[in-house]
A and B are shown apart, each in its own frame.
Chain A
């Protein structure tokens, strides 16, 4: 890991910062529990042709219980989301997190930059002397540096917004699937059929995103393997903050500079 950022003298290297507070961690754990339940009790209906799922419904009433569990998990998830919305509206920390999570043009640029930095194609070409003049003129395209991330990098923002979008889609389509009679009071059958398709495919999308993207970033990624513990203890060291979220590190350092200047003024 590059350690481009110079440590601030005002931040001890062994200092611990709170990345996820208790409320955020509980919200995250609830999300894991409800999401897993929803996937297990829902996916067999989408992939009904796969024989393995038959084993899940080996006993009588199993399918009935599946439905109850699915709806129960959905209700808990919705309550969790409502709590999160209230938290993001009415607490200072929540509001700040939400603001930090909003996508900016920089995030797209970051993603682009990270990708080409990792591939290292342009650097390789430069080393071989190909397009040398062009790269000398526009050094950005060499992607020599990794971008600096704020409190949330583009991956985390993408995941957060993905959950938000997915939840919205699933709650709306799921609500109408739960209340078929109500749905068909407003919509013709073919629209209701679209709800069913959307609910199923959005589920597959969410499932694959979590399994592939989130699991890689928080588990399999060699940097955190076997698991980032932030979701359990909420803690991040100042070293990790400096390397993974340098812009936030800078912000904290600047705040401390300002605070100490103020303190000096008061004196």
Chain B
């Protein structure tokens, strides 16, 4: 053997080794695709076993060059193909241990108390071979796509106390419209409020949408409102743990939340009185917390209330005078209905409003004691009206009586 032959065969051997080695590296995935690349491959149950290699290559795992057996770990040791039909479920926690820990505490991992417990796996939300990054617009967990992903189970498969319609209300909401129509990916989707991996049942005290946490949850986006709310009477009582005090969703509703300027909103100008009066017309709550009731009744009796009832939006409603997120008691110097601020508050609509605006009562529960002038005028008018109408009717009756009598006697 001369040197040339030696070099030649040596190079050949090296090339062979490299070829074999390189072929061997990819051999796992290639092997899988020999069968799973076939579009017609079906399991015994008829389920397609086809793997779209292009889709996988585009996925986050494909990009990171994760091999099939990295996830389907029980295939690593298998030498004989085709392998057994039943494989172990993929365990994502091997890499995604933090998320796995969060999911364990979530409602998705706790078998529901139904006949057929539904257990949610990673793949249900994230997909399988086509998993993409959360900020990839194609991802099933991209913020704009989240509602669709959750709805796959939550509209029909999962029964909730309030019914599927309650969840569907979200599609009417300002949040959903911002997401879908305006494409604002920061707008609230299911996960924003309910949490992702650690999602809890709405009734769970640990849930992000529980009474205890809802203020924090909403104010993660509506940052400026938290301070206002906590400074007002409602917020102060909330901090003290008063259970009857309204939190965000008590006034604004939850899934169907829309802008206050939308006529369907619960806090629309002409409807807000109905919301406030749920508590502020409740006698027992009034006694318990020491606030005045009959607020709706007395508001309705005023021009503001009457006009509002007939759909006029420009008149004052509860919020116009009392404020909204930071409602304060009238004794608070910062309250818009504090005697010192009344002229300014009324002046928002009545330019040049002076001190006379404060000389009288707005919510008159008993005119007899609180608004004597009006009360006396009313009584005088009732007497005059009653008296005059009685006299009219007497004269009419006498006239008819006379006519009947004379006709009868003539006949």
Contacts and interface: CB of A to CB of B under 8 A. Distances in A.
Contacts of A196: 303, 374
A204 B385 contact: yes
A90 interface: no
A193 interface: yes
B358 A189 contact: yes
Interface stretch (A58-66, A101-109, A254-262): A58-66
B389 interface: yes
B76 to A, nearest CB: 70
B360 A190 contact: yes
A29 B115 CA distance: 78
A222 B403 CA distance: 9
A51 to B, nearest CB: 11
A131 interface: no
A184 B385 contact: no
Given A190-B373, A202-B381, A181 B351 contact: yes
B356 A189 contact: yes
A201 B385 contact: yes
B352 A45 contact: no
Contacts of B373: 190-191, 193-194
Interface string A204-224: 110011001100100001100
A190 B392 contact: no
Contact of B353 (A66, A184, A190, A209): A184
B356 A180 contact: no
B310 A208 contact: no
Interface string B297-337: 00011010111011110100000000000000000000000
Interface in B361-380: 361, 364, 371-374, 377-378
Nearest to A146: B402
> Which of A48, A180, A191 lies at the interface centre, i.e. has the most chain B CB atoms within 10 A of its CB?
A48
B396 interface: yes
A48 B307 CA distance: 9
Contacts of A91: none
A131 to B, nearest CB: 20
B359 A190 contact: yes
A53 B398 CA distance: 35
Given A189-B358, A193-B371, A212 B311 contact: no
Number of contact residues on A: which range applies? 35 or more
Interface in A177-207: 180-181, 184-194, 196-198, 201-202, 204-205
A119 interface: yes
B287 to A, nearest CB: 26
A239 to B, nearest CB: 19
Contacts of A63: 307, 310-312
A235 B310 CA distance: 44
B310 A62 contact: yes
A60 B311 contact: yes
A54 interface: yes
A180 B359 CA distance: 14
Contacts of A83: none
A44 B385 contact: no
A216 to B, nearest CB: 5
A119 B401 contact: yes
B300 A189 contact: no
A169 to B, nearest CB: 10
Contacts of A17: none
A105 to B, nearest CB: 18
A181 B350 CA distance: 6
A119 B374 contact: no
A48 B302 CA distance: 10
Contacts of A45: 303, 306-307
Contacts of A216: 392, 396
Given A44-B310, A63-B311, A216-B396, A193 B360 contact: yes
Given A185-B356, A190-B359, A48 B306 contact: yes
Contact of A205 (B301, B378, B384): B384
Nearest to B401: A118
Contacts of A185: 352, 354, 356
B399 A118 contact: yes
B351 A119 contact: no
A64 to B, nearest CB: 7
B405 interface: yes
B131 to A, nearest CB: 50
Contacts of B356: 184-189
B19 interface: no
A190 B378 contact: no
Contacts of A53: 310
Contacts of B398: 114-115, 118-119
Contact of B394 (A115, A184, A186): A115
B374 A212 contact: no
B268 interface: no
Contact of A208 (B301, B311, B385): B385
A188 B360 contact: yes
A13 B301 CA distance: 58
Contact of A201 (B377, B402, B403): B377
A44 B405 CA distance: 41
Interface in A46-73: 48-49, 53-54, 57, 60, 62-64, 66
11 contacts: A118-B402, A120-B401, A181-B351, A181-B353, A190-B359, A190-B360, A193-B364, A197-B374, A201-B378, A201-B381, A205-B381
Interface of B: 300-301, 303, 305-307, 309-312, 314, 350-354, 356-361, 364, 371-374, 377-378, 381-382, 384-385, 388-389, 392-396, 398-399, 401-403, 405
Given A181-B351, A190-B360, 20 more contacts: A45-B306, A63-B307, A114-B395, A117-B402, A118-B398, A118-B402, A184-B353, A189-B358, A189-B360, A190-B374, A193-B360, A197-B374, A198-B377, A201-B382, A205-B384, A205-B388, A209-B388, A212-B389, A216-B396, A222-B403
Interface of A: 44-45, 48-49, 53-54, 57, 60, 62-64, 66, 111, 114-115, 117-120, 180-181, 184-194, 196-198, 201-202, 204-205, 208-209, 212-213, 216, 221-222
Please list the 5 inter-chain residue pairs (A to B) with the smallest Cβ-Cβ separation, ordered nearest first.
Answer: A189-B360, A188-B359, A201-B381, A118-B402, A118-B398
